[in-house]
Amino acid sequence: MPASGLPRPIRVAIVEDDPVFRSAFAAAIAAATDMQLVGVAASQREGLALLGGLRADVLLVDLGLPDGSGVEVIQASQTAWPGCSAVVTTALGDEQHVMRAIRAGAAGYLLKDSSPGDIASEIRTVAAGGSPISPLIARRVMALLRESEPAAGAGQAAGRAETEVALSARETEVLKLVAMGYAYHEIAQRLEVSRHTVLTFVRRIYAKLEVRSKMEAVNVARRQGLLAD
Amino acid sequence: MWQGARACWRIEGARAFLFLLVCLVLGAPARAAPEPAAARLREAQHQVLPGGSFEVPQGLPVLDEARWQPTPLPLVLPRAVAPGGSKAIDTLWVRLTVPPQLRAGDPERLRLYLPRWQTVGQITIYADGERVFRSGAGPVWNGFNHPVWVPLARADSGRGAPATVLIRVDHLRTVGAALSTAWVGDVDALSARHRWRQLLQVELTYVGSAAFLTLGLLASLAWVSRREPLYGLFAFYAVCWFVRALHFHMGTGPLPLPEDWFGWLTVHSLSGLTVASMLFGIRLVGVRLPWLEWPCIGEATFAAAASLPPLADAPALALVAPLAYLVMLVLFVLAGLATVVVAWRARARQGLVVLAMTVATMPLNVHDWLLQNYRVDIEHLYLQSFGMLILAGVFLGIVLQRHLAAVRHSERAQEELERQLRARENELRESHERLRAIERQQVLDRERQRLMQDMHDGLGSSLMGALKVAERDRDGVLAEVLRQCIDDLKLTIDSLEPVQSDLLLLLATLRFRLGTRLEQAGVQLHWEVDPLPPLPWLDPGSALHVLRILQEVLTNVVKHSQATEVRLTTALRGDEVVVAVADNGIGFDAAAATGAGRGLANIRRRAQAIGAQACWLAAGPGTRFELVLPLARAQAAEAPPDEGRWSLHGA
């Protein structure tokens, strides 16, 4: 999508310890006319400090930082920069890493070997409210959100939250098609919506997953007596 | 009126029953021609004198010849209201004449057989003035139920056969007295008749009650250990019956305890019997009728307490006994009928049987009451004991049935227990195996995660860093090699992800990884897949083979076929799954000629390793590759270890 028409550039911040990737991302952003790099951090500490500064629209975060995990940066960004889309950068896009980030509140993931053009387009997708997804992630998310039984002792609170995080029919359909290997534009054709709408479905699904993992954390804490009812 | 008619019917029924019994037992010898050596005396003479005594008479008083009056036998002096008080004693004298033809034989063989006499008092028999018989213990319990069987002449007396027999009955006037017909004759002619009556009237019921008492003691042991009311009631019933039956059997000799106590026991044992059989029946039905149970128990207890020997003397007891029996009878009838109704409503078969039998034997009790009061032929048998015998049989049957049921139940419980134990053992074993499987899986998962973490942070990051450097330095060749390395690595990682037998998910992953590469090469990918059944054999090793085969095929399409479109389809064909890759390129032969040969060998080797078939078909323009995978692998055709060179990328 040409950026010239946009009233305001997409503000991007990077938390990445590897200088090669840091500069690669920075170069890709610089090459895109509709984006603006507003902050760079090389460690968890710097990343958390970054959150006190100018608010970014998209935050690229590496999980494996030398002084801690990027997961904490993602979580902190949720409160510090409401509406900011955190994106985890990953070498392989494997389920383990991506799921951890999404459950912490990430809106998407970016493969580190992506071409500069792909990097820019992924950032645009996320900034516009969409999220990418892979078949394995789709399968995993379906399995997680289908575990319908509420945690023991959670009571009606869990029952209410349960309906909040339940997948809609369309969302389930999107996940199924992704798991079958269909591309976004093919799914959009099938559901008779735009490609962007499909991507926003994915964003909504991720949000539910995040709510659910928070809920589980509360339930676990309650079961262990860490929280009063 | 209706009730009266019903009572009459009962009496008639009892008569018929008795008649049958007597016909069966006594009828046989009676039919056998007139006995020449014995005679049944149906006529006698009698006179009644006041002022008698129960003391043993000393000698024979002189009787006024003029007062003798002829009388038929049986002879009954009914109960009478005594002007001289309840203790007035009369003496009934009865004179029998021995027929002359019977006196001709051996006098020592001559017998007097008196089937029954009945009174409260004593009986003494004289043969020609010589005393030959004196009744037993006391005036009340005097052995009345024992037939009299006496020799009429003693061997040492030296006298001949007697001409007359005098029977002296000292009795309470208020009670009256009765005497049956008398038999006189030769011992052989009469003994069978006497034996039968002795057996039926005395011995059979005595032996029966003794046997029943033994069972009762057994039941009481069961009750002591089990505390089941039914066993207790059974034991109580048996004891009561035995005590009750004693008054029919004892009295020919001295009683083991004072007469008044003995009387008290035998009278109230009947109350005990009544109450016990009623409670037994009610419990069998499985209900409780407190409004019936407690009044009956109360009445019986009260009657027993009120008539304790220190409070009432024996003759008085003998007076009130018929009344007490009557009250008991009425209560018994009411209770019986009420419980029958309840049992009928509850449809309790056993209870119904007991109660029905209890009611059915009621006419026998009525008969005995009538007999006691001389209202029926005095020669009748007391039938109560036979009724008891029947009831005892029913009780015994039921207790036995319950015992057998309990044994069967226990056996079934044992079987059930064993079955449950086996089931539990199996469950435990299965659960253990499941746990072990989970444990194994967890070990594998941890190992996989460790490996992936390592590749992600180590090899993966390094390769990507190198790629970025190559891209920055615009080293296109090196960047391409690195990209292919990264693709290989990604597929390896993907094969390690748990796809859970889902071939489609595996294909989807392949597209996710390689789709962009195809597009960049200018080949349009058409994705036409349908849901597939699970392939249970699709473990990470097999998954990697499938991924590599298709990666190789797609790479060949891109490199050698000059195709612009490629179509991936899946289909279920019998018990096989077909994954087809069709392109619109220059055709297989031509492509093979351009150097894809080594890759084909790799594909065949991998297909073989997972029990699949790989084949290439010419399809119009282009080539159609088919990978045919079995739904279930016949046996674990273990995939050979990967030999490292599985990609065409570097070729």
Q: Do B493 and A94 touch (CB under 8 A)?
A: yes
CB atoms within 10 A of CB B389: 18
Q: What is d(CA B477, CA B468) in angstroms, rounded to the nearest whole number? A: 13
Q: Are B491 and B544 in contact (CB under 8 A)?
A: yes
Q: Search chain A and give the residue with CA nearest B455.
A: A92
Q: Which residues contact A23 (CB under 8 A, 6 or more apart)?
A: B472
Best of A180, A182, A184 to mutate (most B CBs within 10 Å, chain B): A180
Backbone angles phi, psi at B383, to 5 degrees: -95, -15
Predicted local distance difference test score (pLDDT) of residue A43: 92
Backbone angles phi, psi at B526, to 5 degrees: -100, 125
Q: What is d(CA A25, CA B106) in angstroms, rounded to the nearest whole number? A: 150
Q: Give the pLDDT mean for B485-496.
A: 85
Task: Return the minimum-mean-pLDDT range out of A131-135, B339-343, B445-449.
Answer: B339-343
Regarding pTM above 0.80, the answer is no
Sheet holding B177-179, edge to edge: B75-77, B177-179, B117-119
Q: Do B460 and A91 touch (CB under 8 A)?
A: yes
B-chain CB neighbours of A186 within 8 Å are 527
Q: Do A96 and B512 touch (CB under 8 A)?
A: no
| Three-class secondary structure of residue A147 per DSSP | coil
Q: Are B283 and B233 in contact (CB under 8 A)?
A: yes
Query: Confidence class of residue B648 from pLDDT cuts 50, 70 and 90?
Result: very low
Average pLDDT of every residue of chain B: 81
Predicted local distance difference test score (pLDDT) of residue A5: 53
C-alpha separations of A76 from A17, A39, A104, B308, B516 in Å: 18, 16, 9, 101, 34
Q: What is d(CA A183, CA A185) in angstroms, rounded to the nearest whole number? A: 6
The CATH number of A10-127 is 3.40.50.2300
Predicted local distance difference test score (pLDDT) of residue B326: 75
Strand-pair category, B182-186 with B148-151: unpaired
Predicted local distance difference test score (pLDDT) of residue B125: 93
Instruction: Say which of A92, A118, A181 has its CB closest to residue B456.
Output: A92
Q: Which residues contact B13 (CB under 8 A, 6 or more apart)?
A: B363
Q: Are B509 and B493 in contact (CB under 8 A)?
A: no
A-chain CB neighbours of B493 within 8 Å are 92, 94
Of B399, B55, B389, B386, which is closest to residue B200 (Cα–Cα)?
Answer: B386
State pLDDT tens for residues B90-139.
899 999 999 988 888 788 889 999 999 988 888 999 998 888 898 876 77
Q: Search chain A and give the residue with CA nearest B483.
A: A113
Rounded to an integer, what is the distance from CA B529 to the centroid of its chain?
A: 65
Q: Compute the 3-state secondary structure of chain A and give helix, strand, coil in percent, each to the nearest 5.
A: 55, 15, 30
- Name the more confident of B140 and A151: B140
Strand-pair category, B565-573 with B524-528: parallel
Q: Do A21 and B465 touch (CB under 8 A)?
A: yes
Q: Which residues contact B237 (CB under 8 A, 6 or more apart)?
A: B216, B272, B273, B276, B277, B280, B392, B395
State pLDDT tens for residues B449-483.
888 888 877 888 888 888 888 888 888 888 888 88
Dihedral through CA A206, CA A207, CA A213, CA A216, nearest 10? Answer: -130
pLDDT above 70: percentage of residues in chain B: 86
- Name the more confident of B157 and B58: B58
B464 touches chain A (CB under 8 A): yes
Whether the complex's predicted ipTM is more than 0.90 is answered with no
B504 touches chain A (CB under 8 A): yes
B-chain CB neighbours of A113 within 8 Å are 463-464, 467-468, 483, 486
Q: Give the pLDDT mean for B24-32.
A: 50
Do A135-223 and A10-127 fall under one CATH topology?
no
Tokens of B292: 């019936």
B468 touches chain A (CB under 8 A): yes
B-chain CB neighbours of A134 within 8 Å are 509, 512
C-alpha separations of B613 from B320, B576, B625 in Å: 111, 10, 10
Task: Go through the domains of chain B in sequence order and give each one's CATH number.
Answer: 38-199 (2.60.120), 201-413 (1.20.1070), 499-630 (3.30.565.10)
B453 touches chain A (CB under 8 A): yes
Handedness of CA A9, A15, A16, A20 (dihedral sign): positive
Q: Which residues contact B93 (CB under 8 A, 6 or more apart)?
A: B46, B47, B48, B49, B63, B166, B167, B168, B169
Q: Do A181 and B511 touch (CB under 8 A)?
A: yes
Report how far apart the first and last C-alpha atoms of chain A are (Å, whole number): 50
Backbone angles phi, psi at B289, to 5 degrees: -125, 75
Q: Are B326 and B338 in contact (CB under 8 A)?
A: no
B507 touches chain A (CB under 8 A): yes
DSSP B332-397: HHHHHHHHHHHHHHHT-HHHHHHHHHHHHTHHHHHHHHHHHTT-S-TTSPP-HHHHHHHHHHHHHH
A-chain CB neighbours of B460 within 8 Å are 91-92
Strand-pair category, A108-111 with B69-72: unpaired
Q: Which CATH number fits domain A135-223: 1.10.10, 1.25.40, 1.10.530, 1.10.3470?
A: 1.10.10
Of B132, B115, B135, B141, which is closest to residue B123 (Cα–Cα)?
Answer: B135
CB atoms within 10 A of CB B84: 12
Polymer length in residues for chain A = 229
How many Cα atoms sit within 13 Å of B214 on the Cβ side?
Answer: 5
Handedness of CA B225, B231, B236, B239 (dihedral sign): negative
- Domains of chain A, by residue range, sit at 10-127, 135-223
Q: Give the pLDDT mean for B169-194.
A: 90
Q: Are A210 and A102 in contact (CB under 8 A)?
A: yes
Q: What is the pLDDT along chain A (229 residues), one digit of tens a residue?
A: 444 555 689 999 999 998 888 998 999 999 988 999 999 999 999 999 999 888 899 999 998 888 988 999 999 998 899 889 999 998 888 888 888 898 888 998 998 888 888 899 999 999 999 999 988 888 888 888 776 444 444 444 555 555 667 888 888 899 999 999 999 999 999 999 999 999 999 999 988 888 888 887 777 777 766 655 5
- Name the more confident of B89 and B15: B89
State pLDDT tens for residues B376-410.
888 888 888 888 788 778 878 887 888 899 899 99
